[in-house]
Amino acid sequence: MVERDKWGSQLGFLLAAIGSAIGLGNIWRFSYIAYENGGGAFLVPYFVALITAGLPLMILEYGLGHKKHGSSALSFAKIGRKHEWLGWWMPVFVMFGIMFYYSVIIGWCVNYAIYSVNLKWGANTESFFMQQYLGLSEGVGVLGSIRPNILAATAFIWVTMWLICYRQIAHGIERACKVFMPLLFILTLILIIWGCTLEGAAEGLRWYLKPDWSKIANWKVWVAAYGQIFFTLSLGFGIMITYASYLPRRSDLVKNAVITSITNCLYSFLAGFAVFSVLGYMAQQKGVAIDQVVKSGPALAFVVYPEAISRLPFLNNLFGFIFFVTLVIAGLSSGISIIEAMSSSLIDKFNINRGKTVSALCLSGFLGSLLFTTQGGLYLLDILDHFLNQYGLVLAGLLECIIVGWILKARVLRRHINAVSKWRINKLWDFSVKLLTPVILSVIIGLSLWKEFVEPYEGYDMKYILLVGVGWIMFTLVLAVIVSVYPWEPEKLGYEHKPEEDRLIV
């Protein structure tokens, strides 16, 4: 039997899992997607997506990691060596793809938290972000030079994550999340209350929540809902499989999955109040409608929100600092989980010292992120983020369902989950994992590919889309297959949690 790290408490596990799920996208993506897709009415397809895809996959990943008692790589290797490549591909493309640019975005947040002290971005926030801060090059084919301020902030983020992940799970990630998550919720609550007291906030919230029931008849809204649920819960990363492997034998997996999923979705919904209340104030100050100021993604956080912060009637420096520190904490809690998923797989297979593994990963991660600290980094970030999230994660989730549902057999995993959980699942979960969720994810991939062929993403030249987007996915896939060929020690493939030995399963 191979001894693994253990969580110090159920609370520590839950806070870490919730911290992984809650990231930058919860703050700058959900509210915009809800606004674009029916406002309050969007909550209907969003809730349906949570029940039919989000929760089944979350329970699947918790159950797989706990039953197989290993990282994503080891868990899939125990199902069958020919499936091991998927267990590697998930953390590989997240660590050596998403994490490369995600760390740079967190670094932007660090810089902007400092800039908020004296509102360094000035009156023209778009010009400051694009030209003075990023020094944006003329196109995706021109990298330009590395931006020193972005480099320094990115280095700070990697060092911080290294310090947290270097230690054992209970003393590193668990302790960090016990500080990060309560602080994140407190800071978000401050932003919500502060924003809702501003003049014009009610109008902003009306735009956010006003239901447009006609929109939910559009298939694109349902695709958006399922896509958002899938991305926001950190599914397909290999993270939840790894985190669940550190749980003790008796763990209420179903209850933990429900708490993690609902808390994450509730946070996304409430964070929208902080965003749209301030946008409502900004729109009133400029004398324009909300739809003329609302944007999604980095443009919201680094262009629109800073302008709104500058227009606040009092203590705008403090508000700006709190906002960007909130983004930093949300980013860090997700970043450390990505490093853990990758390092756990390497430790499981190669018996490498944890400290050396984490150090090597953080160093290689920092070196890889240098590409995105250049003047052309934003273009690469945009393309890579689109393809890894739109196709990589969804495809990983689809393959998970097929392998677990049809090869491991959904009923086998369900019996394990019910044996250790007070909250139980029935055969409807089997149906979701084997048929419903795979069909939904297949439709999402198909519709996205169709749209890609009709109109290349954001009008980028196809050669860059193939080189950066498709090329990066293929590179990580080949790397995963190569690593999966290396043999395991036999005893590692033989051990797993077997709660059925403690309880008779009918």
5 lies in some domain: no
Does residue 1 fall inside a structural domain? no
* 4 inside domain: no
DSSP string across 474-497: HHHHHHHHHHHHSPPPHHHHH---
pTM: 0.93
Q: Which amino acid is at 301?
A: A
Which three-class secondary structure state does DSSP give residue 146? strand
SS (H, E, C) 95-126: HHHHHHHHHHHHHHHHHHHHHCCCCCCCCCHH
Q: Residue 400: inside a domain, yes or no?
A: yes
Query: 146 has which bridge partners?
Result: 374
C-alpha distance across the termini of the chain, in Å? 27
Per-residue pLDDT of the chain (506 residues; tens, 9 = 90+): 446 778 888 899 999 999 999 988 888 888 888 888 888 888 899 999 999 889 999 999 999 999 999 999 999 999 999 999 999 999 999 999 999 999 999 999 999 999 999 999 998 999 999 999 999 998 888 999 999 999 999 999 999 999 999 988 878 899 999 999 999 999 999 999 999 999 999 999 998 888 889 888 888 888 788 878 877 888 889 999 999 999 988 889 999 999 999 999 999 999 999 989 998 999 998 898 888 887 777 888 899 889 999 988 888 999 999 999 999 999 999 999 999 999 999 999 998 899 999 999 999 999 999 999 999 999 999 999 888 887 888 899 999 999 999 999 999 999 999 999 999 999 999 999 999 999 988 988 888 888 877 787 878 888 888 888 889 999 999 999 999 999 998 778 876 766 544 443 32
Residue 2 lies in a domain: no
Whether residue 315 lies inside any domain: the answer is yes
- Distance between CA atoms of 436 and 443, rounded to whole angstroms? 11
DSSP letters along 188-202, please? HHHHHHHHHTSTTHH
Structure tokens at 117: 């002290």
Domains in the chain: how many in total? 1
Answer yes or no: are the C-beta atoms of 459 and 139 closer than 8 Å: no
Residue 6 lies in a domain: no
With respect to residue 506, please indicate whether it lies within any of the assigned structural domains. Answer: no
What range does the domain containing 303 cover?
A: 11-501
pLDDT tens-place string over residues 372-413? 999 999 999 999 988 888 788 889 999 999 999 999 999 999
Cβ atoms of residues 468 and 100 within 8 Å: no
Instruction: Give the CATH number for residue 481.
Output: 1.20.1740.10
Instruction: State residue 359's pLDDT score.
Output: 97
